[in-house]
């Protein structure tokens, strides 16, 4: 099981994330060129994604989510998972490069928070 599968499974079972509308990540363009999808939803209840959020060539992975309410618990859950699992056998290394940069308006309708994470094997 890949590190991102583990993260997916971990986040999917967290009650703290019940109010989070969607979480997604995006690979580097060169990874996409080698067959990785441009982005994957980590939760099934999300819709599309606005590409302009993800135009960050210097980051390996961006974890973003909508939040209609205070979501410190969700942010902390993601950070805790990354910190606890980054040295586990068979798991990719994670580095949190930036704290969430939100809230800010997207298309004047949604608050978005973004946390940038680098992942490597």
**What per-residue confidence (pLDDT) applies to 30?**
52
Stated pTM of the model:
0.35
Residue 92's pLDDT band, with cuts at 50, 70 and 90, is very low
86, pLDDT greater than 50 = yes
Number of structural domains found in the chain: 1
Mean pLDDT of the chain: 48
Of 74, 118, 119, the closest CA to residue 97 belongs to: 118
Q: Rounded distance, CA 91 to CA 94, Å?
A: 9
The pLDDT tens digits of the residues spanning 12-41 come to 555 544 444 444 444 444 555 565 544 443
Report the C-alpha dihedral over residues 119, 56, 37, 65, rounded to 10 degrees: 80
Domain that holds residue 43: 3-120
The pLDDT tens digits of the residues spanning 43-53 come to 333 333 333 33
If one compares 95 and 70, the residue with the highest pLDDT of the two is 95
Most confident segment among 11-15, 60-64, 73-77: 73-77
């Amino acid at each position: 099981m890949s590190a991102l599968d583990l993260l997916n499974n971990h986040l999917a079972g967290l009650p703290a994330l019940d109010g989070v509308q969607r979480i997604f990540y995006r690979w580097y363009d060169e990874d996409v060129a080698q067959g990785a999808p441009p982005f994957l939803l980590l939760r099934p209840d999300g819709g599309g994604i606005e590409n302009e959020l993800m135009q960050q060539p210097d980051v390996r992975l961006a974890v973003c989510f909508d939040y209609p309410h205070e979501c410190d618990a969700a942010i902390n859950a993601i950070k805790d998972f990354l910190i606890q699992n980054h040295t586990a056998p068979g798991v990719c290394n994670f580095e949190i490069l930036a704290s969430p940069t939100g809230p800010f308006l997207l298309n004047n309708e949604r608050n978005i928070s973004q946390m940038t994470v680098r992942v490597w094997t």
